[in-house]
Amino acid sequence: MRDGGEGRSRLLLIVLIVSALFLITLDLRGVGVLEGARQGTQTILSPFQRAGSVVISPFKNFFSDVTHLGRTRNQIEKLRADNAKLRATLLNRKNADAQLLQLKSVLDLAGTAGFKVVNARVISQGASQSFSQTITIDAGTTAGIRKNMTVLAGTGITGVVKEVYSHTSLIMLATDPAFRIGVRIAGSQQIGILSGRGSRSGSLQLLDNQTNVKVGDVLLSRGSVANRPFVPGVPVGYVTAVDNSAGAIAQSATVHLYTNFSTLGVVSVVVAASKVNPGDALIPKKPRPTPVPTVTIYVTPSPSPTK
């Protein structure tokens, strides 16, 4: 009896494992039914994600703020006094204002380059249990979005459209380990490949061993054939460290990406690029220090002192 129970248990386990392996095989062979299943899940989930995004948005940036508390302590101290006056108003409008700011900067960027864009709100962040870095936006095929289109944020490249559904799209972020983009260094025009590393820093591999890269160099997207997946001239990031290993064929470097992926609220998908390459026109301007006004007071002694 006991042997029979164990036998059944083993048989069940084998059947389940074989089923899983069967599913993997079907998916790797590109069977459409399985792809449709994932698409169906997203279609069912998207209205709930949209509603959830609206309800949860006031608390969304809480953890990100906590993470950066140490680095921005001075700034927080300075702003605290101002915030006290505006807190009541700000509580209601904070989220909307942040999204408006992101939208404005991304439209500025797209406008300078002459890109035709579709703006969308981020309605869900992907789970990191699969080590992938994705977001879901509330625009899909009905808005003109197609697979492999460039996605921008206010300061530069955000990612690429990985999957597109009728009313939502899944975006692979530039931080995803599977993300690759051809880049050129502004000015010198050296080319290389930038890979995501799971964090805000990327890894640059130059293609030519005769060229040099230095800290501070700005990287722009090279662009792809027919502008998909990447339109040219979009700022990607800047070099923070250079690896000059003697054994390496070509130089490699660490790159800080311009986009702050932890606070993404609004993004733009480039649905059509201009015929003219924007060149280096989109490089973000370096912040100028605010001039401090100096007031000089001359005191001249009175000729006849008053008594």
User: Of 72-80, 99-107, 132-140, 289-297, which segment contacts other proteins by CB under 8 A?
Assistant: 132-140
Residue 193 touches other proteins, criterion: CB under 8 A: no
Complex with other proteins: residue 218 or 257, whichever CB lies closer: 257
Residue 243 touches other proteins, criterion: CB under 8 A: no
CB of 274 to other proteins, least distance (A): 32
Residue in 58, 64, 104, 166 binding other proteins, rule: CB under 8 A:
64
Residue 182 touches other proteins, criterion: CB under 8 A: no
Q: Please count the other Cβ atoms lying within 10 Å of the Cβ belonging to residue 52.
A: 13
Give the largest Cα separation in the chain, rounded.
122
Residue 128 touches other proteins, criterion: CB under 8 A: yes
Residue 75 touches other proteins, criterion: CB under 8 A: no
Please calculate the CA angle 162-164-165 and round it to the nearest 5 degrees: 150
Residue 28 touches other proteins, criterion: CB under 8 A: yes
Complex with other proteins: residue 126 or 144, whichever CB lies closer: 126
- Interface with other proteins (CB under 8 A), residue total 55
Question: Cα torsion at 260, 263, 265, 268 (round to 10°)?
Answer: 10
For residue 172, what are the β-bridge partners? 134, 160
Complex with other proteins: residue 115 or 261, whichever CB lies closer: 261
CB of 138 to other proteins, least distance (A): 13
Q: Output b/e per residue, 64-84; b: 16+ Cβ within 10 A.
A: eeeeeeeeeeeeeeeeeeeee
Amino acid at 90: L
Sites for other proteins among residues 37-56 (CB under 8 A): 37-38, 41-42, 45, 48-49, 51-53, 56
Q: How far is C-alpha 131 from the geometric centre of its chain's CA atoms?
A: 16
Residue 177 touches other proteins, criterion: CB under 8 A: yes
Measured between alpha carbons, how far apart are the two ends of the chain, in Å?
120
- Please give the Cα distance from 35 to 32 (Å, whole number): 5
Closest CA to 188 of 156, 224, 157, 220: 220
CA-CA distances (angstroms) from residue 85 to 24, 29, 79? 58, 61, 11
Where does this chain bind other proteins (CB under 8 A)?
Answer: 8-9, 12-13, 16-17, 19-28, 34, 37-38, 41-42, 45, 48-49, 51-53, 56, 59-60, 63-64, 66-67, 124-132, 134, 136, 163, 170, 177-178, 196-199, 261-262
